[in-house]
Amino acid sequence: MKKRNLIFTYVPAVTGVLSLLFAFTACSSDSSSDDDASEEIEEETVTELHAAYAAFNSDATTIYLDGSNVVIETTGLPDHETVYWGEGNDLYLDEPDVQVTPSIMSSNNNATTITVDATPDLSGSTVDTALNTIGIAVSGASIFNDQEGAGALDQAAGSLDWTGAHIGPGVYHYHLEPKAFTNDDANLVGVLLDGVFLYGRQCDATGTYPTDLDASGGHTSTTQYTDGAEEYHYHIINELYSNTGSYIAFAGPYQGY
């Protein structure tokens, strides 16, 4: 009886040591296969940040890749003059004809973070824009659509500054062609929530107004940021909007969701 007990206690002890040894060898071989796995994942998700993002105001924005997404964090504070900076600010511009809202930049939280696809999905159906931020402009401020509150933009047109923007309520935002950085040209305006870039009324590919735009103002051609490659992008549509004497920045629908 005593001998059997010894055997029974001895066997688990031996297998315990053996499995420990096995675990050590397993660990050392695991470390190399782990490296292989992580390299494969990196190859799938790391994309170079699109060259157009270099045009964004680096004082206001922090832009980085997160897997297959691009994250854009912005203070929302643009690098151009407007009455909405408020008197005393270096970028304050006296605009006596603007029916200013009660808000000024310094007493308003303009910060926004958006996450967009690094490669927009252009195969799906269209999605309507909604109130609030529909994109971030190269200045760092938000882009809104053609609506104000529950109604058309006309009601708020008097409060828009020289570059088609105002505060209220919420962040400082552009509704119209932002003349501070695009004025009847092919300049980059910003990126919209579907990851598609928005350009001015003209196209870099032809040096004039594009004639093949879809309902969103989009088409596929080269741009100044694509190094000769064709890419789907939006333009500000070259049609005056209502009584504003200017052009809507983007009225939708999104094509890149």
Q: Please identify, among the stretches 11-19, 79-87, 220-228, 237-245, the one whose residues bind Zn ion according to the rule CB under 5 A.
A: 220-228
**Residue 100 within binding range of Zn ion, rule CB under 5 A:** no
**Residue 203 within binding range of Zn ion, rule CB under 5 A:** yes
Pick out residues in 221-250 that bind Zn ion (CB under 5 A).
221
Minimum Å gap between C-beta 199 and Zn ion is 6
Q: Which is nearer to Zn ion, 114 or 217 (CB)?
A: 217
Pick out residues in 19-38 that bind Zn ion (CB under 5 A).
none
Pick out residues in 35-74 that bind Zn ion (CB under 5 A).
none
Minimum Å gap between C-beta 222 and Zn ion is 8
Under 8 Å between Cβ of 108 and 172 = yes
- Cα–Cα distance for residue pair 31/36, rounded to 1 Å: 9
Q: How far is CA 165 from CA 99, 110, 238, in A?
A: 12, 13, 18
Scan for tokens 């600010």, then name that residue: 89
Q: Which is nearer to Zn ion, 45 or 206 (CB)?
A: 206
Minimum Å gap between C-beta 175 and Zn ion is 6
Q: Closest Cα partner for 188 from 178, 154, 47, 251? A: 178
Q: Which is nearer to Zn ion, 126 or 221 (CB)?
A: 221
Maximum Cα interatomic distance, the chain, rounded to a whole number of Å: 106
Q: Which is nearer to Zn ion, 81 or 148 (CB)?
A: 148
Query: In the chain, what is the straight-line distance between the N-terminal and C-terminal CA atoms, in Å?
Result: 75
Minimum Å gap between C-beta 210 and Zn ion is 5
Q: Which is nearer to Zn ion, 116 or 203 (CB)?
A: 203
Minimum Å gap between C-beta 242 and Zn ion is 14
220-252 exposure pattern, b = at least 16 Cβ within 10 A, e = fewer? ebbbebbeeeebbbbbbbbeebeebebbbbbbb
Chain residue at closest Cβ approach to Zn ion? 203
- Cα–Cα distance for residue pair 209/81, rounded to 1 Å: 27
Q: Which is nearer to Zn ion, 68 or 206 (CB)?
A: 206
Q: Output DSSP code: residue 38.
A: H
Pick out residues in 123-162 that bind Zn ion (CB under 5 A).
148
What is the token pair recorded at 155?
């009601």
Q: Which is nearer to Zn ion, 34 or 212 (CB)?
A: 212
Beta bridge partners of 241: 246
Under 8 Å between Cβ of 247 and 239 = yes
Radius of gyration of the chain (CA): 27
Report the SS3 class of residue 152: strand
Q: Please identify, among the stretches 27-35, 55-63, 86-94, 199-207, the one whose residues bind Zn ion according to the rule CB under 5 A.
A: 199-207
Tell me which residues touch Zn ion (CB under 5 A).
Answer: 148, 203, 221
